Amino acid sequence: MTPSFIQLAAEQKSAEVTDWAARIGWVVGLLLFIALLYWLMREGWKWRGTLQGGLPELPTAPEAPGEPRLTMTGRYHGSTTAGQWLDRVVARGLGTRSRAELTLTDAGVDVVRPGAEDFFVPAAALRGARLDKGIAGKVLPEGGLLVITWAHGETEIDSGFRSDRAAEHTAWVAALTDLTSKNSKTTETEGAR
């Protein structure tokens, strides 16, 4: 009886032996695969920026933009080609998500982004505003996103913002729509002259 008990114990002990070389090989292989995926995503981001390289420099706020009509603090979730909520614009820093402070004046919308490039949307470039639920891969509850449509060079852009107080979005849509309609009437009047 003793030899079979010893045999059984030896078989159990051999089953418990771990093949560390195989485990380390799998871990190293997995880490290399993750590094490859990260590198491919980074190269794709840079390639997209190269394709959008014709986008002009972003406008900066004028010296005296006028009295603020509305202000908002929140997050900038990115910009896309207008009407294409997944076609992210990454050139000129527009693809960088960040905190944002928006100020609406009669001159336009000033977007201040700590840690990212600030930009200004002139009133003449504004094309509209709406409440939406998603932009550039970010999906929120219905109406949880303020989307401002504006022209930059030859491209129309949708930029998505989420206020720290979502109830402000409706006031922003109304004010931007009002400013856009005033500017279109002014443009029509100047064109008729």
Confidence of residue 15 (pLDDT cuts 50, 70, 90): low
pLDDT at 189 over 70: no
Give the pLDDT confidence score for residue 12 in this predicted structure: 63
Tokens of 39: 């590198």
Rg value, the chain, Cα = 27
- As a whole number of angstroms, the distance between CA 27 and CA 32 comes to 9
% of the chain exceeding 70 in pLDDT: 86
Give the pLDDT confidence score for residue 14 in this predicted structure: 57
- As a whole number of angstroms, the distance between CA 83 and CA 135 comes to 10
Tokens of 61: 């706020």
pLDDT tens digits for 90-118? 888 898 899 999 999 999 999 999 988 99
Query: H helices within 82-192, ranges in order?
Result: 168-192
pLDDT at 136 over 80: yes
Tell me if 82 sits within 8 A of 157, measured CB to CB.
yes
pLDDT tens digits for 140-179? 888 889 999 999 988 999 999 999 998 899 999 999 999 9
Degrees to nearest 5, angle at CA 84 with 80 and 85? 65
